[in-house]
Amino acid sequence: MAGALDGIKILELTRVGPGAFCTMMLADMGAEVLKIEAPPSGKLAGSGASPKPEDARKLATSFTNRNKKSMTLNLKDPAGQAILQDLAKSYDVLVEGFRPGVMQRLGGDYETLKKLNPRLIYCALSGYGQDGPYRDYPAHDLNYLSLAGMANLIGPPEGPPSIPLNVVADYAGASMHGVTGIMFALFARERTGKGQFVDVSYLDTTISLLAATPNVRDYFSDGVMPGRGKGVFGGGYAYYGFYETKDHKMITIGCTEPWLWENLCDAINRPDLKDCGMKAGDFSGYTNDRHVYARAELQKIFLTKTREEWFEMLTKADVCVGKVYDVPEVFQDPQVKHRQMAVELDHPVAGKVMQAGIAVKLSDTPGSIRSFAPALGASTDEVLRAIGYNEAKIAELREKRVV
């Protein structure tokens, strides 16, 4: 069955996970993604040689590089830059994750490539974007969270903020917005016939995500200052938080709608707590003694049954409840299996391996996992032949460590 992006060709020049995750989502939907990587040193540089058996399993589970081809190319060498420019002539999209200015030094910036291919969509994922006083500064996910005002809102009010892994700025921010920007540009190209530059900043996208929450909405509308531990999602209200269970595991309760909170109170036979449901002022307020009391009462009650018992009971009572899983438990959950988000695949060397499935389900043009992550440089010779290089020239390029 054809994928939604069959026929779209993408060049990937990234060195970190968010860029690879961005192009993987496009590859899962049928796009042909060629990952350009630096040649390693040594005799097998860029040869595409199969990994050692002990390394095969790690490569097989390299989730973000599945459905891609790999080519090694030394972009510091003028011959490597010429090859990149040749490739760009026939590709639809280029995704790069370097600091601003690097691709210009490597002969692969948008202004250079669009002259060779006016239909090229060029997506740059960078920390602070292509302009502004911070554009050249180094940073990582946590730095963007702090500058976006998000870090200071995560965790309990006492002590330092909590670190939410690197899923916000890196993946929800740069990766997802990169995919969205590319799809917008592809759609626009259908009407205009022209490509364009897609400038995605990790900081910008983090601010955008935070702005969707009541914290920023209330600040913009009423000047209410958000604070850590403050508001509905701060962890202080009984109807939205974590609770320990009898078996020393945890559940989450997320009953923000009044009727869902009432369902919970009825299920645990505590109708006297119904007045502690969410109210309009809770979005930006702190908890009072009544809320503290309700939370303490719920914790006592939840210690009387196991995590599984509470989940079974409360789901039947139409209550928003979740089990706090560790990673192995996630992929054994029946809902996760049913939705094919835990996929078992057969690898020719590593045997059966697990990967996460495809999150976006399309009815007519579904995504697919067609191949495992490639060995470094596995497609180098194939790609060079396709753009007109003969065996002698390929051997020369390899001898000079261009590929």
Axis-axis angle for helices 307-316, 258-267 (nearest 10): 120
Instruction: Using the structure block, give the residue that is written with the tokens 């760009």.
Output: 88
Query: Sorting pLDDT into bands at 50, 70 and 90, what band is 227?
Result: confident
pLDDT of residue 175: 97
Residue 302: half-sphere exposure toward Cβ, Cα within 13 Å: 28
Report yes or no on 228 lying in a domain.
no
pLDDT of 243 above 90: yes
Report yes or no on 2 lying in a domain.
no
Q: What is the pLDDT of residues 335-378, one digit of tens each?
A: 999 999 999 898 888 888 899 999 999 999 999 999 999 999 99
Q: What is the pLDDT of residues 95-115, one digit of tens each?
A: 999 999 999 999 999 999 999
Residues 200 and 136 in one domain: yes
pLDDT of 217 above 90: no
Residues 205 and 85 in one domain: yes
**Structural domain count, the chain:** 2
Once rounded to an integer, what is the mean pLDDT over residues 52-79? 86
Q: What is the pLDDT of residues 318-341, one digit of tens each?
A: 999 999 999 999 999 999 999 999
Residues 118 and 191 in one domain: yes
pLDDT of 13 above 90: yes
- Better-predicted residue by pLDDT, 49 or 196: 196
Report yes or no on 342 lying in a domain.
no
pLDDT of residue 42: 55
pLDDT of residue 45: 42
- Average per-residue pLDDT for the chain: 92
- Better-predicted residue by pLDDT, 15 or 125: 125
- C-alpha closest to that of 214 among 205, 222, 206: 222
Report yes or no on 59 lying in a domain.
yes
Once rounded to an integer, what is the mean pLDDT over residues 271-294? 87
Residues 18 and 131 in one domain: yes
Residues 313 and 366 in one domain: no
- C-alpha closest to that of 25 among 359, 302, 261, 384: 359
Residues 313 and 365 in one domain: no
Nearest 10 degrees: CA dihedral of 324, 328, 329, 334? 140
Report yes or no on 349 lying in a domain.
no
Q: Say which DSSP state 274 is in.
A: G
Residues 180 and 317 in one domain: no
Domain span including residue 18: 9-210+361-399
pLDDT of 271 above 50: yes
d(CA 119, CA 3): 21
d(CA 380, CA 384): 6
Residues 263 and 375 in one domain: no
pLDDT of 50 above 60: no
Query: Sorting pLDDT into bands at 50, 70 and 90, what band is 157?
Result: confident
Phi and psi based region of residue 213 (left: phi greater than 0; alpha: psi -120 to 50; beta: remaining): beta
Count of positions (residues) in the chain:
403
Residues 155 and 262 in one domain: no
pLDDT of residue 18: 95
pLDDT of residue 44: 44
147-170 core/surface letters (b: 16 or more CB in 10 A; e: else): bbbbbebbbeeeeebeebebebbb
Residues 250 and 303 sit within 8 Å (Cβ to Cβ): no
- The CATH number covering residue 64 comes to 3.40.50.10540
Residues 201 and 127 sit within 8 Å (Cβ to Cβ): yes
